Structure 1
Amino acid sequence: MNVKGFDALTRADLDEWEAVRAANPALDSPYFHPGFSAAVHASGATVHVAVGDGVFVPHHRDGRTLRPVGWPGADFQGPILAPGTPFRPLDLLGNGAGGYAFDHLVEQAPGFERWVVTRRPSPFLDVTGGLAGYLGRASKSGKDNMGQARRRAAKAGREHGAVRFEADSGDADALARVIELKRAQYAATGARDYFADPARVRLMESLLKTRDPGFGGVLSTVHAGSRLLAAHFGLRAGGVLHWWFPVYDPEFARLSPGWILLRELTDAAPAMGISRIDLGRGEDEYKRRAKTGESIVCQGVVTRNPLRRAAVTALARAREMARNGRLPRSR
């Protein structure tokens, strides 16, 4: 494959990329849209693209390791190609690259089977028909939580002022508040701060301004009076909205503001042209309750080095056992 810098792609290359993506249902996530790679590259995280005959694989160089574009914030990964197109992952290696590491590879990606170490579910909501359509497909838990969200929104209105939902806001100050709340959440939980890298803040700001009819960032907010209860910044391509950075003000935690926001988004989905909300990989309880289905994403590494592959396999399996509670936990 021929590797190019993103800036070296021609208009014809980008048009072909989008045409190939649009023809493959497995690639309908906004992470596969060339607009996502363009925004990531413009933010300062250099994007390279391996280009073959009708195949595009956007990625970053991390020493001798290749990582999918947008890593570690890309919740769906894989080569952009037409259905049925053969692909040899080892063709990505060479020119100093010793491995291609993936952690959210779509299960339909061809040629990767031997390199997959673990698989995990990525839940989604089918929101065709809006809230009524969703409730017809949801589990009892999903229905119950949506009902509670309606009652809690009414309570928020009584206590704090009229509840206002904005499905697609362009408010830069609201985005800054989302990032502020998310960083506070990372600090409180001990998670790695995704926004410690200024390039990722620039990426959010750029995506907020992207208003391409087929791709862009979507900022949704719920206020009660003048107070922000919850907000979400995600990506949208066609009829798919990816649930990326949801936040809520901890002061209102008792009202479960995240569910209020998710209910409002589900209700607004038809007007927004949205038929599916991807929640992304994770074991969060609300995802389990809200989902109407799930896809599978894979973790592993493409490498010619058997020792590296064995090490990655052992680490992944140890983490899987820890998640399942089969390893003793330190006190």
Structure 2
Amino acid sequence: MTTVRLTTLDALTAREIDAWHLFRDANPLLASPYFHPGFAHAVHASGREVRVAVACDETGQVTALLPCHRERALLRPVGWPAADFQGPVLAPGSHFPPLRLLTGGVRGFEFDHLLDGYPEFEPWVESRRPSPFIDTGGGLEGYLGRASRAGKDNMGQARRRTAKAERTYGDVRFAADSVDVTMLDRVIDLKRAQYAATGAADYFADPDRRDLVVRLLRTRGSAFQGMLSTLHAGPHLLAAHFGLRSGGVLHWWFPVYDPGFGHLAPGWMLLRELVSAAPSLGIERIDLGRGEDEYKRRAKTGEILVGQGLVTGNPVRRTARHARNAMIQAAKSSALGPGLRQMLRTFRAIGR
């Protein structure tokens, strides 16, 4: 019989933290920095409380840990809404009972980037979407041997545009791992402008999230750290990226470019530099995160699937979510526009 208790991150024992590291190290599927306890600690320290569901077997041995946030009666994975990989950190051969999360007033556990490989969560998965990645083994030469024709073409164009930028604006300089907080502020400003221009929700509207990325930037060490990469031409910042790195995995998190240099496709120029530098940096994979953006489709060398859904014991709530999801799909695929969007806004609140 597996027991699950929900505790604060600060209350974990040294034995439980050791188990977290041990389980993660034993499972290559958990190589993403999102599964490293350093990510949960940084989120917690930035002002958003992290709780951890700790599962133990009948002998009292820890078998799984799942860091999360509690918002009223709902649990969500740590780092929500910007956690691109989610799921419990399991001991080899063990399982996690999702319904055991529904205790102490908790009525649901919502996830939107659940890794494949958790069969016990299968009844609660409502949909799956691809999360592409780039195998950077062998650097640029190795990548070109695995890339699609579109990926090869875009990398070739990036090489030519880099040469053009150097002729036009001055020396092109790439910094793989900058610790310049002022430059990070510039990245945040560009990202917020991008959100405003596209109508996307502004992740950095919450000041705690700026504090989070600054904390991550100041976290150093190959086991877990924030990683800021920049590309300049002369005095101009063309493109930059802030992500998370753990061991040989870099997670592509907040890429930006200056729209004034959009004609150069500087995001591809930056990505080319990162792929080229990957062997010297010890990076073997760049996870691009869930999404069907055109550049991800072109750049990827592979993809995995991540699931979206809600663990709940309430059949009425599940029915309501299915109705909401059907409405969302209809709104995306229909030209009826305004009427469906109004209905969609109404249904978004259901299941929260």
Q: Taking structure 1 as the reference length, what is the TM-score of the superposition?
A: 0.97
Match of 1:278 in 2: 287
SS in 2 for 1:223: strand
Distance 1:109 1:327, change over 3 A: farther
Match of 1:318 in 2: 327
Please, which runs of 5 or more residues in structure 2 have no aligned partner?
A: 57-62, 340-352
Cα drift, residue 119 of structure 1: 0.4
Equivalent residues in 2 for 1:150-161 (5 A)? 150-161=159-170
Match of 2:337 in 1: 329
Matched, 1:85 2:108: no
Match of 2:37 in 1: 34
Amino acid of the structure 2 residue aligned with 1:32: F
Matched residue pairs, number?
330
Q: Distance in 2 between matches of 1:146 and 1:44?
A: 40
Matched, 1:20 2:23: yes
> Which range moved further: 3-12 or 24-33?
3-12
Q: Contact between 2:109 and 2:310, CA under 8 Å: does it hold in 1?
A: yes
SS in 2 for 1:124: strand
Equivalent residues in 2 for 1:303-314 (5 A)? 303-314=312-323
Match of 1:3 in 2: 6
Matched, 1:43 2:46: yes
Cα drift, residue 83 of structure 1: 3.9
- Residue in structure 2 matching 1:220, options 209, 229, 236: 229
Matched, 1:170 2:179: yes
Q: Distance in 2 between matches of 1:263 and 1:329?
A: 38
Distance 1:322 1:275, change over 3 A: farther
Q: Distance in 1 between matches of 2:328 and 2:264?
A: 33
Cα drift, residue 26 of structure 1: 1.5
Deviations 1:125-177 (A, max 9, x none): 01111111110000000000000000011111111110000000001111000
Amino acid of the structure 2 residue aligned with 1:164: R
Cα drift, residue 330 of structure 1: 3.8
Q: Distance in 1 between matches of 2:118 and 2:187?
A: 33
Q: Distance in 1 between matches of 2:326 and 2:263?
A: 36
Equivalent residues in 2 for 1:180-195 (5 A)? 180-195=189-204
Amino acid of the structure 2 residue aligned with 1:68: P
Amino acid of the structure 2 residue aligned with 1:216: Q
Distance 1:240 1:317, change over 3 A: farther
Please, which runs of 5 or more residues in structure 1 have no aligned partner?
A: none
Q: Distance in 2 between matches of 1:209 and 1:236?
A: 13
Q: Distance in 2 between matches of 1:242 and 1:117?
A: 25
Amino acid of the structure 1 residue aligned with 2:178: S
Root-mean-square deviation (CA, aligned residues, Å) is 1.2
Q: Contact between 2:244 and 2:253, CA under 8 Å: does it hold in 1?
A: yes
Runs of 4+ that moved beyond 4 A: none
> Which range moved further: 9-18 or 20-29?
9-18
Cα drift, residue 327 of structure 1: 5.8
Cα drift, residue 322 of structure 1: 4.2
Deviations 1:232-263 (A, max 9, x none): 00001111100000000000000000000000
Greater Rg by CA: 2
Q: Distance in 2 between matches of 1:137 and 1:215?
A: 28
Q: Taking structure 2 as the reference length, what is the TM-score of the superposition?
A: 0.91
